[in-house]
Amino acid sequence: MRRAVVIGATGQTVRPAVDVPARDGWEVTAVSRGGGRDAGRHDGVRAVRLDRGDDAAPAAVIGDGCDAVVDIVGYDAGYARQLTGRPDGGTPPVPGADPRGPAHGGAGRGHVPDRKATLELELLAAKDELPTTILRPGAIHGPYSPLPRELYFVKRNLDGRRWGSPRSSEAESGGRVLAFGGESRLHTSSARTLAELMRLAAARPGSRVLNAVDPQAPNGGGDRGGRRRRDGRRDGAGARGRSGSEPRRGPCTLVGRAPVVCGMAAAERELGYRPVVTYAESLPETVA
């Protein structure tokens, strides 16, 4: 029987990835900080508690004879070395990173993207001993999110919020106020899409970096919450806490109207990936 360990198993991102290998006959160890077991989990899944702050803990949980490890908790090279067993100090520098840190206007090694980059470099350097598929998702969505982006739209519908003057005949309930005129595009990633990519990568081990996004990138004015409503559209990003600052704009505040869209050709070529769900198809489950 093949064996898989999933680290960060109770979070939104890999919940679907826990049951998928179990249904395929794998023995799955679901690892989380609290060690809890989700209701309805497959019988072949064993729940284990892990303190990721203990460098020796991951190796103890993974043990010998493990065929695949899924890890979404790692944030820097130190986390990678917990898996590779390599000594500290061998990670190549991050191209373009400013070592002076945020206080001096640079991203610095404390900035999450730079820390993630050191993690990727560390894992890719260990390709001979530990083949690793690195997945780069967009805006992750699906059930169990602690702060779903869709809540902005659903809540306005439930509240009967209006766009326009309450006395105006043009006022309609559930109106949405959209940054960048509702035209900004930020690629999304369903948790089910990620689970499929993880399944395929486990069957085809190798060292690679792949985009992990849905078939299409919805724009800020896409239909959400089950009903169409009149929208208020404003130029620019809006401001935090004010109309137009809905969370779907995401990184588009940094790049203006430029889209954030990723291709999946590499995943199709290297893993045989085919889309499993679109954003629109997965939306009802998330909203429910």
pLDDT, tens digit (0-9, with 9 covering 90-100), for 175-217: 556 666 666 788 999 999 999 999 999 999 999 999 999 999 8
* Containing structural domain, residue 160: 135-288
Q: How many domains does the chain have?
A: 1
Question: Considering only 39-53, 91-105, 202-216, which range has the smallest mean pLDDT?
Answer: 91-105
Would 202 be classed as within a structural domain? yes
Residue 240 in this model has a pLDDT that exceeds 60 = no
- The pLDDT score that the predictor gives to residue 265 is 97
DSSP 8-state secondary structure symbol assigned to residue 133: E
In a domain, 205, yes or no: yes
Residue 169: pLDDT band (50, 70, 90) is very low
Which two structure tokens, joined as six digits, stand for 120? 């990727």
Global pTM reads: 0.79
Residue 129 included in any domain: no
**254 phi and psi angles, rounded to 5 deg:** -90, -30
Residue 142 is assigned to a structural domain of this protein: yes
Cα 200 to Cα 8: distance, rounded to the nearest angstrom: 19
CA distance 203 to 12: 23
Domain assignment present for 77: no
pLDDT, averaged across the chain: 77
Residue 234 belongs to some domain of the structure:
yes
* Residue 70 scores a pLDDT above 80: yes
Of the pLDDT bands very low, low, confident and very high (cuts 50, 70, 90), residue 227 is: very low
Q: Is 7 exposed, middle or buried (0-12, 13-18, 19+ CB in 10 A)?
A: buried
In a domain, 28, yes or no: no
Q: What is the pLDDT of residue 153?
A: 78
Residue 87 in domain: no
Q: Over 80: is that where the pLDDT of 228 sits?
A: no
